[in-house]
Structure 1
Amino acid sequence: MPEPTPENWAAVDRYLADTLVGHDAALDAALASQQAAHLAPIEVAPVAGKLLHLLVRISRARRVLEIGTLAGYSAIWMARALPDGGSVVSIEAEPRNAALARSNAAAAGVADRVEILVGRGADVLPSLDGREPFDLVFIDADKESNTIYLDWAARLGRPGAVVVVDNVGRSGRVVDDTTDDPQVQGVRAGLAMLGDDPRFDATAIQTVGVKGWDGLAIAVLV
């Protein structure tokens, strides 16, 4: 039996991606552009991108909010799952990343479905108040602000909307209630909010794979 090592986790992840996800020229090009721009390789794994795609389809989402665009990899996955007239609104703090994501969305043929707003999430989210509610919210930005993002997800999402929060495992450090790591503290605060706030009904799963030991939380707005 294979040992439960990071190398074997990654090998299984690659096998699952090859078997169930496959390769796509536009998505591969988006990742290549991200690497060429020397951006951190913190995009979701292919199997997670496909999960987001399926969640959009399963929830029949028309309007998706993403907090944390990077080079647009996950935005492309979700935009491709939308029906005609659907849209992804994605917020990116770094103008250079936003420009790259727009280019990648255009190359993938989904520029008409992806709107990228530049600025810190906490600053941009209030500007969305009053727009049509969102059906799915994907949170994958600075972990220190997870509670802010969750609060706005609840304000901007319709009842029954799906909320996904990435990177909640933190290589197991999420169980450490004495940590001074602000990212882990932010994740813990966000999970506590999901558990205590009556606007959410949530669970979480830990994951292993090409991104190491991590996890994601999934909630429904009540």
Structure 2
Amino acid sequence: MKQINNYMDEVFYQYDATLEDVLSSIAENGMPAISVSRSSGKLLTMLASMTGAKAILEIGALGGYSGICLARGMEKKGTLTSLELEEKYAQLAANNLAKAGFGEHVTYMTGPALESLEKLVAEGQRFDFFFIDADKDNYENYLAYCIQLASPGAFIVTDNVLAGGSVADPKAAPKRYTAIMKKFNVTVANHPQLESVLLPIGDGMTVSKVKK
């Protein structure tokens, strides 16, 4: 997987100073280097643009790399709502989004994501694009909330679903969340409200469309 992803980044990714600065800021702040891959970020921008996303919900902000990719693809007057457990991470992400020109388009909600999601449901919020990239133990819970919050025909993108290839390759080193991702992928593939496909980019992404 790593060799394939390196090839994709080498051929399809053009140097992006803004995004590289985000990666540097994450390292400088002692945060984990777990942003989406460069090609995965490009895919997020393309998907948000292709779907005409106007209201995006991101679960897991880290330092704002994926947030910038999503914001670049959404409509000019679109909004990005990002959920992040750590206040420090959310602040860095907000600073990086502002530097990228999206400060007025993004709102951060800090604390446990399930609590923020419950609040959004209670408020009657609706979104047309979702990106899940947070704690794996709650992926199925996040998916359920996204479906509740989805406008008809909305898209849900989920990262890390290949768990380093261990969901499919018994020789690959298993991750702590390998079994979780195996179960999650089966759920997504067979969910009656979703039409889904798995893309082997980065650490794997499922792209799901909520049926109208």
Q: TM-score, normalised by structure 2?
A: 0.90
SS in 1 for 2:166: helix
Higher RCO, 1 vs 2 (CA within 8 Å, ≥6 residues apart): 1
The answer as to 2:205 corresponding to 1:216 is yes
Structure 1 residues 86 and 10: CA distance shift in structure 2, 3 A:
closer
Gapped runs of 5+ residues in structure 1?
none
* Equivalent residue in structure 1 for 2:44, among 29, 49, 52: 52
CA contact (8 A) 2:164 2:175 kept: no
- Corresponding letter in the other structure for 1:172: G
- Once the two structures are TM-superposed, the CA of residue 175 in structure 1 deviates from its matched residue by 4.0
* Equivalent residue in structure 2 for 1:12, among 3, 7, 14: 7
* Equivalent residue in structure 2 for 1:144, among 137, 141, 165: 137
**Partner residue, 2:162:** 169
**Partner residue, 1:24:** 16
- Once the two structures are TM-superposed, the CA of residue 10 in structure 1 deviates from its matched residue by 4.9
Structure 1 vs Structure 2 CA RMSD: 2.1
* Equivalent residue in structure 1 for 2:200, among 179, 183, 206: 206
The answer as to 2:87 corresponding to 1:87 is no
**Partner residue, 1:40:** 32
Gapped runs of 5+ residues in structure 2?
none
- Corresponding letter in the other structure for 1:134: F
CA contact (8 A) 1:142 1:183 kept: no
CA contact (8 A) 1:143 1:184 kept: no
- Once the two structures are TM-superposed, the CA of residue 205 in structure 1 deviates from its matched residue by 2.4
Matches within 5 A, 1:89-168: 89-129=81-121, 130-168=123-161
Number of equivalent positions: 208
- Once the two structures are TM-superposed, the CA of residue 90 in structure 1 deviates from its matched residue by 0.7
Find the aligned partners of 1:11 and 1:62 in 2 and give their Cα distance. 32
- Once the two structures are TM-superposed, the CA of residue 185 in structure 1 deviates from its matched residue by 2.6
- Corresponding letter in the other structure for 1:88: L
Find the aligned partners of 1:142 and 1:11 in 2 and give their Cα distance. 25
Deviations 1:4-52 (A, max 9, x none): x84x435413312xxx442222222111100101111110111111110
CA contact (8 A) 1:144 1:183 kept: yes
